[in-house]
Structures are given as structure tokens and as C-alpha cells.
Structure 1
């Protein structure tokens, strides 16, 4: 009896538990059902859209063949359920196969190490052009080569001056009548003083009573002779330079700064440098001046470092190599820095791909960024990224190619409208718009006839005109969708004409005529180019027994792929209306 009670209690407990479980379960079950229905709906919507694997811009609501290349359309996969239409998802296996890597965006000190090349040069403030104050002929040169040291007052040369001899004779004559005409005597002395003839020399002339024939030219400064500008026997005019003398106790080291490096170097920037001819020694300095004008020929500005050179180690024209470590700006704030490999350039803008995790799958989305200065293998990002975001750093081009094929915004099509999954149909063209295609089709038919007749030269002549007509096609009146399809046709047609032009024999033209015919047939179908009756013909043996089509104005089979060898090989496939 006791056992029966226990069994009844257990059974009752189980029944009550099951009932409570059933009462609590509906909300969760209902949610799962709703998610399944939503997923089924998305799959159903995706299955209604058909696209071409080679031409992803083609979208149709039913299966069929691509109007451009003739390939069978495939259903557009619903790989972005629940995410932005601009996102492109990839499986982890695909990411590994494509060797795509990413990293989290962080901040760092936006500093750069610049390597500069330069030369030791004379300090222009200590360079002096020694000139002569006496006109005449060089009778003697005391300094005969460059590099010689000179002291201030040292005699550099002796000059014979007929003019100075005449002035001395005038002084002696004026001295004889100075009692009666003192003004004349003083004027004669002043004339000599204007030639830098000192009072001691004037007194010696008066004491000797005869003119001095040769006068010395003394050095005005201490330094090294860096250039000798006269030779013995030369006649010099007053004020004419005869030597260049430089004081090398202080020199400049001038470094070349290219335009791209100007943002990184400022006056006061510290620089460490080495001199090629002084291995093992490192010098420290600060940039005291940056040339405000860029050399129009070399496209560089110079950065000056002033150096004390009392020991004479540094000599003009020595090569120097310097390193400047500098930040982007004078502030100490950190900047966002990304690798160069993460950036795609389009000429007008810079883009990166942001990686996100959506329901366990990796998703990629295009992001335009504004870059700052380059940091070797990295860039400073001014706008477009935030810290913590993940970007693709390796395989960026692979991601972009996949995104572009999927019809989403990519590097070359950043504003592509991916929300519009409607059929990409061509609106009815006007009679004038259709007439533009007529010369292209006529040349195609002429090329086909040349191949039928085995006429290689005639085919080459037609190809030249065909290419020019394709390039001259006027697209100004085509709407956006019609133009987009024409661009696909134009690319394929021009690729074929280029291969035609490079062909060395008629067989090479026939091989390329296979793809060219498919493009022409697709163009006729898409744009409804029915100004005349056209037929699609098929040869099962062409293209290595894979079969190939061609377009004809006649229902009679005349095979362009074999010509006279098998002229009648083929069959009528379609009659175009």
C-alpha cells in the first residue's frame, strides 16, 4: 500500500513537471519559429534574383542566360542576412586561402626617422672676397694656390699702377708749392688716401722725393684662400676681386630636404650626423635655418646646421649623412597609425576595409579615410578611423576584388547602390541611339565574311576601322543602367580588337572571333538592335569541339571558323527579331 502511494506521487510529479515545461516553452519556440521563417524568407528572396558570375551587374528575377556573355545565370546567394547591404561576408576558410590578415587600429606617437644627405659648406657670413683698391698690373703674387692660410694685413700681391705713379708725381709737385697753395697739397694727399695709401706711405713718398712704383695688396681678414682669381701679369681694375678668403673656424652642414619631408623638419629640430670621411665619429646639432624657397631644378630645400670647426676637422664639400627624429606636429598628442599595406589608392581618395564579426562570419566594408604624412611603412590617419576598429592589413586587393564582383561598394565603385536588386534591364532606346550600333554590327558582319573567304588582309583592314568605331561611340545620351552595360560590352569588344590587331595569321583571328561573336550577340539581344534580320549560327566543331556561335545576316550557313575547309559546317540556332 505504501509503495503504491509512492508510485502515484512520482507519476503526479512527472505530469505536473511536464505541464509546467509545456507552459514555459512557447515563447522560446515561437522565437525560433520566427527566426526560421525570416531566414526562409530571405533565402526565398535571394533565390528570386539571378546574376552572372562574370558580369555581377546583371540582376534578373528569373533564370536564363547572361545577355552579355551568354553564360547561364546563377542565383544570388543570401550571404548578408541581417547585415548592411554594403557588407561582404567571407568564410574563415576563404580568408585563410586568400592569406587575408587584419589588425586592431591603435594609437601611437606619430614620429618619423628621416635620413638626410648633405655636404659641409663654407659659412657664407665668413666668406670674404678680397679685392684690389689699386688699378694696375699684377707684378708679384705672394699667394699662388688655394688652401693657403693668410693673416689679416699679410701682403697678397704687388701691383704696378701707372695711375698711382701719376698721383704721386702730383703730390710731389703740390708739396713744392704747399706754402702758397696748401689746398692743392691737401687735395693731392686725399687722392692717394682714396686708394688706401696710408699716411706713413705718403710721408715716405715725400721724404724720398720720388714715386713708389709697386704697391702691396694686404689681406683684410684671416682665413683660408678658397679661390685664386688672378695670375701674374693680369691687369686689374679698382675693386676687382683677386682672392676668395674664408674663415673655416665655423662651417655649415647643408642637408637636402625633399618636399615630402618638409612637414617633418622644423627649425630647431635635433639632428645627429656622420661625415663619410670621418668614420666612427657622430656629431650632434640643431637645424638653425630651412631655406624658404625650393630649388626649381632639384625640387629640394636646404636645412642648415651651424658647426664650430676650430679644430679644422670638417672641410667644405665633405659628404654628410644625418638622422632627424621628429613628430607630426608640435603637440604631444598621439595619432592613429596604420600600415601602408592596408590602404588602397584610387588617385582621388584613400580607402581601407573594416573587418567585423557578424553571426560568426567575417564581414568586410569599405571605408574612405583621409591620410596625413607617411611614416616609412605606415600612414597617419587624420579622419575616417577610430581606435579599436579592425582593418585588413594584408590581402586588401583580394578583398576588394571579391567585393567588386559581388556588386557592392568597392575601391573603383564607392557609391554603387547595392540596395537596388531590381532587374538591370535596358530601357527602350531611341532610333538615333540604336543607329550608333549599326556601324559596329556592319563591320562585324564584314569581318565574318572576310573569315569565310579566308581573306587575312581584308580582315586586318576591317579590324582597324572597327576599333575606332567602338572608341568613338557616343554615350552622352545613355541612361545610367544602359551606360553601365555598354561599358562591359566596350571593354570586351576592345579587348578582342586588340588581340585581333596583334594576330599574325587568320587562325589567330578566328580563335578570338569566338569571344567577339558572343559579345556582339549579347549586345544585339540587350539593346534590341533589330534594324535588319539577323541569325545566330552554331558550329559544334569550333573551339576545340566545344562549339561556337556567330552572327549572320543570312540563314545560309557559311562557317567563318573554318572558311573554305568546311564552309557548310554549322546550323541555324536562333532567328533574332
Structure 2
């Protein structure tokens, strides 16, 4: 078979891009454009990715050797990325490395803002020499970011967290928190000095006014008789001591008066008699006088009887005390009376008794002599004072209370029996106690914390042991010193910030220690492998060992 040589047109048919009928003219141009665009994107991608990869390997401490060995991730995780921290919005001291529930309250944990993009070496307290500044919100201390900006929760400007802010203090103290003065003013941080004071326990109760039993008298007689004239006829009438109340006729009284006059005459007749006889006569006179005195006949009336020698048919009975007539027996005039019959009640109203009830837990703080402040609705704006005079020895089984009597001075005689009053006691529970306002103490249920102001915007929480709480103050047994200033407002925010910083610092310290331990273990392992290799190189039979 004869082979004819190819024509020049057939040879050039695949190369002629300008031919009209050539297939290369239809598909060659798009392919060229596609290849050019792909090359352009590949160049841009490599130009951007390679420097980033180099920087990433440099920051991670990667040393790429033959075979790709020698990777060292330092303080990073297995994948070379920093782990995100999770906390509880109600308990910022809780920090976890993964999402879940708070072990205290069971709420879902939320990510701590700004922890994911930061490496451990950049956090405060890490071992790296180059530390990134953290920014937080003064209102939401759980927010932590590596750059300035607004708070993602409230929109306030973030403030820098100093590297030393997470340093822990002495045992029982939290981390020191530094706050800018302007932020302190915006937070309305107020402080008060720790000082010694007498702690008082306020007690409030109610009661009613009654007559002072020690200043009430009862008018009665010690002999039989008949009342012939009454001088005081109305209840509530004011009388003075010695003022005649009524006149009474008593045969026994008249007979005793006659015996006195007879004894006086007999003694006069025996003036010249022997001493023994005169002594018996004088004793009779003295006996008659004493009997009249026992019947409440006044010495003036007896002297007048001896001087005049005339027996008084009736006897005037005077008031034994000054005061008001609180009771008068009806129908006194002409009434036959017997010894012990109550005819008048007279009360001295210069002071009254205020009867109040005290509960069982209040009895220990009220005793005779305790002062009281008294308010009455009848005299608005006025305050009266009194003193506890008596406490009943028995507790009421029905009300579980004890009755107390308070002596109240009746200035101007305006107070009346039966008026209701409000009584305030302020007994001293502890004298000279080291105390702070109750609002200065944060009670979490597991601990009590007071935030101490160190000055220059620096604050530190102190755990305290508390004693008796009274009158808006609480006794501090341990944790504070006299003269220190404690925060009374916004201390919850400061304590949360301190606890969050302490928790973050502890986690960072633990990670740094773990990283150092793993680095040391890697160094020991690589060094041991090298030594083993040298030994095998020196041993000519190493390759034959199994």
C-alpha cells in the first residue's frame, strides 16, 4: 500500500486558529480565558493564605521540619485554637470550658464575651511577655473583650481591666478591682467608715393609760357611824390633801372623846398625889389620845378637844391625798357605814401608768428602768417619755406576751385614763460593737462579703463574720478593722467583678501550669528519644534487636 504524504493544509489544519472551518477557533478562546482567570485567583489566594499560615505557625511555635514533624502547640488546644469560656449570669464565679448548666442555680451558661478570640498567653496573669489589654463593662462584669467598644448588653463604653486587677489579696479577700473615677461616680458608689457604736434593737408596741396604782387612795372608816354631811359630791372633782370630804357621827368616837376629857380631869386632881398615882392617871390620858389617833383623828383636832373640853358630836373626815375623785359611793348622806367600807377613790394624776404587752423574744431586752418614747394620736407631733417600772412575772398562755407598766409624767394634766399610745423602746443590745450598716454586707447564703474601698478607685471584697444585727447596723466579728471604709451602694457589681476576675485568673493559672507541664514532658520525651538514637548508632547490633 502506498502512503501519500500529508498535505501542508492538513498539517496546519490543527494550528490554524484563523481558519474559518477550524474547530480550535470555536473552543480555544473560552478555554484560554478560563485558565487565565483560574491562575489569577490562585495567585491571589496563595498570596493571602501563605503569609497568614506563616504567621499562624510562628505564633503557635510550629517548626516544620523534614517530614512535617516537630509541631508544638504551647498553651493552645489540640486544634491550635483558644477555647471559649462559659459562665453563669447569676454566679459569675462559675467558669466552664463548655456549654451546660450552672451547678448552683441550674441556668444555662452563657459565653464570656471576648474569651474565644484571645489566646491564653494574651490574658492577664499568663506567662507570655506580650499581654493583650482586656476591656469590660462596669455594669456587666461578665463581658470581657480584647478591644474597646460598646457593651453588647447595655451599650455602655467598655473600660480597660488592668493586669493587676485580678491579683488576689490576703486570705478571705477577693481580687482587687480598679474602677475609673468617672465610672465610680456614674455607679453612685458610696462609702462609710467602720466604727464602734452601741447597737440598739428597736421595739414598737401599743398600750393604754391607766391610773398609777401607787398613787391611788381609798377613803374608808375604822369605826361604825352615820354620815350626816357630804362636802364632795362629784366624780372627777379635784381635791387637795386635808380637804373635808364628809362629816360622820360615831357613838364610839364620842365615847372615846369623853374618856379623854375624863382622864385629863382625873390627872389634874392627882397633881399632889404620889408619883405612882400620877403616872397611872397620865397613862389613861395617853391611852385615850392614842385611840383617837388610831381612828385617824388629827392631832389638831385632839388638841382642840383638850383645850375646849367640849365633845364634838361629828367628826370631819379629810382627803388623805391630792388628786381627782375617781369613785364616790352613791347616797352617802345619811348612810350607815361600817369599818372598811369604800366611800371614795382618789387618784393622784401627776403621773400615770401605761400598760403594754411584750412578746417573748422582746422580754430579754426590756427590764425595769428601760426608757420608752411615747406617742399619742391625741397630741400629734408631741413626744412623751416614760420609764418601765414593773414587768409581770407570768407569761400569758393565750397571747404569749408579758404585761409591762410604764410610768409616764402627766404634764399639765392632759393625759387621761384609757388613752391609747404607741410605745418605742431602743434598748442597747451590744455596747461599743464594731459595726457597719446592714446594707453594706452582701449575703449570698454561703458567705457574707463587705467591699472595702482602698482609695484611688481600688476596691477589694472582704469575707466577714457577723454578730448581732440591730437598728440598721450589724456587728462585725472578723474581717474588717476600725477606720476602714466599706461600700454601701453598687457593691454587688464590684463583688461580681472581683469574683469573675479571680475565677478567670485561677483558670489561667491552671492552664499555664498544665501547659508548662506538657511542654516539659515533651522536652523530656524528645531528649530521651535522641539519646536512644545515639546509643543505637553506637551499637553495631542495634538493627538486629527485636
Q: What TM-score bracket applies, with the shorter chain setting the length? A: 0.3 to 0.5
Give TM-score scaled by structure 2 length: 0.43
Structure with higher RCO (Cα < 8 A, 6+ apart): 2
Give TM-score scaled by structure 1 length: 0.41
Larger radius of gyration: 2
